[in-house]
Amino acid sequence: MSVVQNFKSHLSELFAQALRAVAPEAGDTSITIERPKQAAHGDYACNLAMQLAKPMRKPPREIANALIAALPKTDFIEKVEIAGAGFINVFIAPAAKQRVVQGVLQAGAGYGRGHAGRGEKVQVEFVSANPTGPLHIGHGRGAAVGDCLCRLLDASGWHVTREFYYNDAGQQIDNLTRSVQLRCKGLTPESPEWPEDGYRGDYIIDVANAFMAKETVEADDQRYTGNGDANDAEAIRHFAVAYLRREQDLDLRAFGVGFDVFSLESALYTDGKVEETVKKLIASGHTYEQDDALWLRTTDFGDDKDRVMRKREGGYTYFVPDVAYHWDKWKRGFTRVINEQGADHHSTITRVRAGLQALDVGIPQGWPDYVLHQMVTVLKNGEEVKISKRAGSYVTLRDLIDEVGCDATRYFLAARHPDSQLVFDIDLAKAQSNDNPVYYIQYAHARIHAVLGQWGGDRQHLLLADLSPLESDYEKVLLQKMIDFPQVIETAAGDLAPHQIAVYLKDLAGDFHSYYNASRFLVEDERVKLSRLAMIAAVAQVIKNGLALLGVNAPEKM
């Protein structure tokens, strides 16, 4: 019996062969394989017969019988039954389920990976924080979700490009420049000259001191040296942006997050891409002049009102470079783009998409995709933590990493659906107890390695283990959990929902701990011993693979 890596995909192919035999004219019908809610209804169910009833003008049960008869002969399936109006329930052979252990051990780190993306390009833009201060916890959630999305898409066969977009132009950068300049001159936020919207965090002092000391900073592809002239606002602007970009990059590295491409808003202007976009929009006929301003008729594309492109006093509104930036993504060949951003960007989605439609360059409606995350509340000792001494007004990502570690920070920030508001409990994240899901999952992995260490045998022998003794209810549950893993990855990637991996791992760890507490592994019966050791070694591999998708380590000792 051969080892099947993805049971659902394998069943889909078997039914596709049956479909071509029974109804070749309907060969392009999509085949849906689902897990029944009740075990009595089999391991998997297919509604293909009901889909074919109308075009074939035959009763579903008659078609179901024909499909079953046309299924290729295989020892993968134990039996097939017809239920209700024509559902086909499939029962997988126990030996096929047991062989998943060998499949996991053979594939190792590759177990769970699929080909749904077919190697197509996808660009994921995430974090994209303004270079005006340290990354806050909201940026951290965006970093965790965005990075996990990239890992999921990569595991599902997509060719992923990770991109960070810096808004290094506009009013916020002006405020940053003024704040650093005043610090260079020895003024403080208590000074009358300090602007109301100036930045007050201690990090502004660090930037000013570095500039006055003529330090050199490197950020991504930039290198900039301060000149020590407190009156040179332009030099201060460039230095401050480079300095804070470097600081953000250091935070992201500490968080295990990297990027392939860094894009600058300022470059859209210097490279002429904003002007090119404006000219294209005017040429498309979707703009008009009113009240000495240039407007884009975004209501033609579903927006609730038209939007100003060029203000009366001159200068473009912020959504114009956004449209230029996304048009550039399209021209770079990214027919699929996913933007992971904070929920406060919700209002920009419609106008950016409208602007892209108004270009009339073939960009499809609904492009790009968006994943928006809600705010994060941080608790410590049961009370909300709101500020950081360094940032002055918010909790930084580095604060959390330093407090609870990278693993717990990443897991907690990715473990809930991005649409859900998140409460980050520092005390729970630090707890070494089963209440802490990170500890609970990592402890399962370490527990398994402790057992294998006690055994001390050659783990290559586990590949040849007789798996037929794996018949207990605990073992059947774990086998099915491991069988589900490739499909969980595919579904989570399709739903753009990395929290599904976190939920799966917590359930898998729980099933293992139950098995551990109810079973002995180093028994005298060599056949039983090797089968159980092979089983838990496979569980450890799946836990490790799943944690890797979240960017979390799988320790062998705790």
In a domain, residue 188? The reply is no
In a domain, residue 426? The reply is no
Whether the predicted pLDDT of 333 surpasses 60: yes
Say whether both 85 and 109 belong to one domain.
Answer: no
DSSP-based helix, strand, coil % in the chain, nearest 5: 50, 15, 35
Say whether both 107 and 25 belong to one domain.
Answer: no
> Which carries the bigger pLDDT value, residue 26 or residue 450?
450
In a domain, residue 359? The reply is no
In a domain, residue 49? The reply is yes
Q: Please choose, from the candidates 122, 135, 354, 127, the residue with its C-alpha nearest in 3D space to the C-alpha of residue 259.
A: 127
In a domain, residue 374? The reply is no
Q: Using the 3D structure, point to which of 43, 60, 92 is the last residue of a domain.
A: 92
Tally of residues, the chain:
558
pLDDT of residue 493: 98
Q: Please choose, from the candidates 556, 522, 514, the residue with its C-alpha nearest in 3D space to the C-alpha of residue 454.
A: 522
Say whether both 55 and 108 belong to one domain.
Answer: no
Distance CA 496, CA 504 (A): 15
CATH of the domain at 469: 1.10.730.10
Say whether both 54 and 70 belong to one domain.
Answer: yes
Whether the predicted pLDDT of 245 surpasses 70: yes
- Beta carbons within 8 Å of 505's beta carbon, 6+ residues apart: 441, 543, 546, 547, 550
Say whether both 447 and 542 belong to one domain.
Answer: yes
> Which carries the bigger pLDDT value, residue 26 or residue 222?
26
User: Contact at 8 Å (CB) between 239 and 207?
Assistant: yes
Task: Using pLDDT thresholds of 50, 70 and 90, give the confidence band for residue 1.
Answer: low
- Beta carbons within 8 Å of 18's beta carbon, 6+ residues apart: 67, 68, 70, 71, 72
Say whether both 494 and 510 belong to one domain.
Answer: yes
Q: How far apart are the first and last CA of the chain?
A: 38
Tell me which H or E stretch contains 273.
Answer: helix 273-283
For residue 424, list its beta bridge partners. Answer: 378
Say whether both 87 and 104 belong to one domain.
Answer: no
Mean pLDDT calculated for residue range 113-126: 97
Torsions phi, psi for 394 (to 5 deg): -155, 165
Whether the predicted pLDDT of 248 surpasses 60: yes
* Enclosing domain of residue 508: 100-116+434-549
Say whether both 515 and 540 belong to one domain.
Answer: yes
Say whether both 29 and 112 belong to one domain.
Answer: no
Task: Using pLDDT thresholds of 50, 70 and 90, give the confidence band for residue 95.
Answer: very high
Find where tokens 């473009």 sit.
316
pLDDT of residue 222: 78
In a domain, residue 286? The reply is no
Say whether both 88 and 104 belong to one domain.
Answer: no
Say whether both 441 and 513 belong to one domain.
Answer: yes
Mean pLDDT calculated for residue range 263-282: 96
Task: Give 462-507 pLDDT, tens digit per residue.
Answer: 999 999 999 999 999 999 999 999 999 999 999 999 999 999 999 9
- Beta carbons within 8 Å of 139's beta carbon, 6+ residues apart: 127, 129, 397
CATH of the domain at 41: 3.30.1360.70
Q: Report which residue type is found at 204.
A: I
Q: What secondary structure letter does DSSP report for 392?
A: S
Whether the predicted pLDDT of 61 surpasses 70: yes
Cα–Cα distances (Å) from 65 to 85, 185, 242, 299, 348, in that order, read 12, 85, 68, 53, 53
Task: Give 362-418 pLDDT, tens digit per residue.
Answer: 999 999 999 999 999 999 999 999 887 677 789 999 999 999 999 999 999 999 999
Structure-token pair, residue 230: 């407190």
Whether the predicted pLDDT of 531 surpasses 80: yes
Structure-token pair, residue 438: 């990170």
Per the confidence metrics, is the pTM higher than 0.75?
yes
Mean model confidence pLDDT for the chain: 95
Say whether both 535 and 486 belong to one domain.
Answer: yes
Task: Say what percent of the chain tops pLDDT 70.
Answer: 99
Distance CA 45, CA 88 (A): 6
**3-state SS assignment for residue 122:** strand
Q: Report which residue type is found at 59.
A: P
Listed range (3-12, 15-24, 130-139, 324-333) with the worst mean pLDDT = 3-12
Whether the predicted pLDDT of 94 surpasses 60: yes
In a domain, residue 510? The reply is yes
Q: Using the 3D structure, point to which of 58, 92, 126 is the last residue of a domain.
A: 92
Domain count, the chain: 2
In a domain, residue 304? The reply is no
Whether the predicted pLDDT of 119 surpasses 60: yes
